[in-house]
Amino acid sequence: MLVLSLGSGIGSAAEIIIQPGQSIQDSLNSSVSGDEIVISPGNYTENLRITTSDLIVRSASGNPEDTIVTSNDQTKDVFYVEASNVTITGLSINGAGSDRAGVYLIRSSNCTIENNEFLNDALGIYLKNSTYNLILNNTASVGRRAVNVERSNYNTVSGNNVSNQRFGIYLLVSEGNMVINNTVSTSADHGFVMESCTNTSLENNTATSNEDYGIHVVSSSSNNLTGNMVDSNLVYGIHFTDSSGNILANNTAFNNSRGIFLLRSGESILSGNTVTNNGNGILLTSAGDSNFSENTVSYNRISGISLLNSTNCSISDNVLTNNTLGIDLAFSSNTTVINNSVQDGGRGFNLQDSSYNAVSNNTASNNRYGAYLLRSGRNVLSNNLASESDDHGIVLENSSNYNEITDNVASSNRAYGVYLTGSNNNNISSNEASGNARGIYLITSNGNALLNNTVLDNGEYAILLSYSSGNKISDNEASNS
């Protein structure tokens, strides 16, 4: 062991150089605050305990691949740290056994764990009751959790590369942490997990090819997920359960079984996300009071933006293309759908068993159907454009009753502009149906009012009723059909 003074005078900090075959723990035991423990390239088999603050433990080379510390006793942590202002950097740290960590920080603050390599550790880096620490630019492969933050606040986890864990980065009962620019792949369960966390930022992380969820948030509130990419995760890209008041902005979710899913997770804001080539794009279930705006949602096989059993939401200014269902409300109510563009899909706007919703100022073009209401009543559809559909522009089917269909334009659709079947007591007024194969058609639909509509230049039938009675037809303009 070589000791070099880093200053002058009694009690000066020292640089302690460790050679292979020497004990790192002996140097730690004799160290004082301010010392640097410099470990020369080689293999070391020890379990180390640090209780002196203001220490640096580093490899001489700065290269984790040539300075390897392996657990001597797998029932213990490789590094146990109960001190502050400790830096551990440039090491390969291996072999922590079940429920043990490569580096365990307990009741520690302002420590830095940087540029280390963790291999075959049950827990790579474990923080408990620790604050204001930096976990930077480490790699971890083969273990249960690469980074575990428990009851620890205001830490930064950044630039780490994690693979082949059960969970990649896991935060539990913690607040105010920042998780930034990390990559987690091929986890057996989830990539990133936040459980019972608040005021946490997940920014610019990548979660790819994890067996369950890319990012999983449970029982957590007031968190911010921004700029993350979730790709090719087996179940969900981003998944929230029982979590409220969170913001999801500018994330990218593609090639997952489901893109972004919120279950019982209301009061959420989803803005500026790109969601492509999933099963469901964005799905909110059993929640409410959420806002979906300026998202780009495309090529999702089941639906683009869906609400199931949800209420009091706003869906605005989104662009949706090539989804089987564009904007889909099922068993949902009191939601506003405004200023969206939906094109090249199956049903542009789909309402099923939903009521008291307002759908206005939207554009639906080149879909199979522009707007489709099934068993949905007391909704308002106004000032929408439904054009160039492969089938009908606006459809009300199977007891879609007491709706207000006003001031819409249904044009250049290949079947009917407006089509009602088995739907009663609707107000169809001040709409324009033009350039369609047929204009407005009612079959087995009674008690509806068709007032002040303009029906022009349709292939045949301006207004046609079949097996329908008690309808009021007044002040419509019909020509060239």
Tens-place pLDDT, residues 459-471: 988 999 999 999 9
**What does R_g of the chain's alpha carbons equal in angstroms?**
31
The pair of structure tokens assigned to 267 is 């009061």
The span from the CA of 466 to the CA of 291, in Å, is 41
- Work out the pLDDT band at 13, boundaries 50, 70, 90: confident
Per-residue pLDDT, averaged over 24-47, amounts to 97
Angle 362-390-427 (CA atoms, 0-180°, nearest 5)? Answer: 50
Do residues 413 and 391 touch, judged by C-beta distance below 8 A? yes
Do residues 259 and 235 touch, judged by C-beta distance below 8 A? no
Is residue 179's pLDDT more than 60? yes
- Work out the pLDDT band at 10, boundaries 50, 70, 90: very low
Q: What is the pTM of this model?
A: 0.95
Per-residue pLDDT, averaged over 348-374, amounts to 98
- Work out the pLDDT band at 8, boundaries 50, 70, 90: very low
Chain centroid to Cα 413, Å, comes to 36
Per-residue pLDDT, averaged over 180-186, amounts to 98
Q: What is the pLDDT of residue 4?
A: 66
The span from the CA of 199 to the CA of 409, in Å, is 45
- Work out the pLDDT band at 1, boundaries 50, 70, 90: low
Do residues 94 and 79 touch, judged by C-beta distance below 8 A? no
Q: What is the pLDDT of residue 6?
A: 59
